[in-house]
């Protein structure tokens, strides 16, 4: 990816602007500000494609996701587009056929949003303004979440008559420590502030210099943290052993191992 305001190989996207503010960093902006960056089906399909492309792009070492405009990171599911789509898919008179069509849509949405979690590069999600519903599903797929002081969070789904189904209920309890708080915000859909999000650990402070660490080490850390979240300690340690037995052979490890003692700042090849 070349350093520019809009990288040519990412210009095919209608709803996302992908730029390279500095070498190795991709900035992905959800770009539908007039509709508060709401996600219609074509938006979520593009979201999945963007993150698959970034995952495979060796020039990218870290990804920052934000929403365009002053008002919103995203107001969530495009409720106008979705009501038409769900009505259409529910038109068959047979319940099993209706359910099958709807299941495919929900699974497609989960896979597209999950592409961000699967992306092999660290993803930093920067939230601001309205951050409702899908915003939380997306944020829970990020490695690091930071937000502006004006952020209005809501796990909004119960307000539109559904249980959240794109990842919040599966991932949020693993992101924050308090099940009581998770159930509170998920069952009430009440808004919570940036300060509250910080106090429960949903967002954290800004970390600098993310692009300078070894990509072998950073991408390995992401893989092992996600694995550790979903598996027991014994399995995770075993997987870590196998993973690192390959990666300690990397030249990145050779360069970095004594860098503290030697007061050197090694640079690393892209991965």
Ligand X SMILES: CC/C=C\C=C\CC(=O)SCCNC(=O)CCNC(=O)[C@H](O)C(C)(C)COP(=O)(O)OP(=O)(O)OC[C@H]1O[C@@H](n2cnc3c(N)ncnc32)[C@H](O)[C@@H]1OP(=O)(O)O
Contact positions toward ligand X, by CB under 6 A? 35-36, 38, 75-80, 106, 109, 130, 132-134, 156-157, 160, 165-166
* Beta carbon of residue 216, minimum distance to ligand X (angstroms, whole number): 36
- Alpha carbon 230 to chain centroid, angstroms: 17
Q: Cα-Cα-Cα-Cα dihedral of 66, 135, 15, 81, to 10°?
A: -160
Give the ranges where 57-203 is alpha helix by DSSP (H): 79-89, 95-118, 134-139, 168-175, 179-188, 194-199
* Beta carbon of residue 83, minimum distance to ligand X (angstroms, whole number): 9
Identity of the residue, 173 or 228, whose beta carbon is nearer to ligand X in the bound complex? 173
* Beta carbon of residue 188, minimum distance to ligand X (angstroms, whole number): 14
Identity of the residue, 183 or 238, whose beta carbon is nearer to ligand X in the bound complex? 183
Sign of CA dihedral 174, 180, 181, 182: positive
Phi-psi bin for 21: left (phi > 0), alpha (psi -120 to 50), beta?
alpha
* Beta carbon of residue 35, minimum distance to ligand X (angstroms, whole number): 4
Nearest to 39 by CA among 88, 121, 122, 109: 109
* Beta carbon of residue 190, minimum distance to ligand X (angstroms, whole number): 13
- Residue 259, classified by CB atoms within 10 Å of its CB into exposed (0-12), middle (13-18) or buried (19+), is exposed
* Beta carbon of residue 199, minimum distance to ligand X (angstroms, whole number): 23
149/83 Cα distance (integer angstroms): 32
Residue nearest to ligand X (CB): 133
Strand partners, 62: 25
Are 182 and 196 spatial neighbours (Cβ–Cβ below 8 Å)? no
């Amino acid at each position: 990816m070349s350093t520019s305001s809009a990288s040519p190989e990412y210009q095919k996207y209608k709803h996302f602007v992908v730029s390279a503010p500095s070498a190795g960093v991709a900035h992905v902006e959800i770009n539908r500000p007039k509709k508060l960056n709401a996600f219609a089906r074509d938006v979520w399909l593009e979201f999945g494609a963007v993150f698959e492309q970034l995952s495979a792009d060796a020039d990218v070492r870290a990804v920052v996701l934000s929403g365009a405009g002053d008002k919103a990171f995203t107001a969530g599911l495009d409720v106008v587009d979705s009501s038409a789509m769900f009505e259409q898919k529910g038109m068959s008179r047979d319940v099993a056929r209706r359910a099958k069509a709807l299941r495919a849509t929900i699974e497609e949405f989960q896979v597209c949003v999950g592409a961000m979690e699967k992306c092999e590069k660290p993803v930093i999600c920067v939230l601001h303004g309205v951050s409702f519903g899908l915003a939380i599903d997306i944020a829970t797929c990020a490695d690091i979440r930071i937000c502006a002081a004006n952020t209005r969070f809501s796990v909004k789904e119960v307000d539109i008559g559904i249980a959240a189904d794109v990842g919040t209920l599966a991932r949020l309890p693993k992101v924050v420590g308090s099940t009581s708080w998770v159930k509170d915000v998920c069952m009430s859909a009440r808004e919570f502030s940036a300060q509250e999000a910080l106090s429960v650990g949903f967002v954290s402070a800004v970390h600098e210099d993310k692009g300078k660490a070894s990509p072998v080490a950073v991408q390995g850390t992401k893989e092992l943290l996600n694995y550790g979240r979903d598996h027991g300690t014994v399995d995770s340690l075993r997987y870590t052993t196998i993973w690192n037995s390959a990666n300690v052979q990397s030249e990145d490890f050779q360069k970095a191992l004594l860098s503290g003692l030697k007061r050197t700042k090694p640079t690393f090849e892209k991965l």
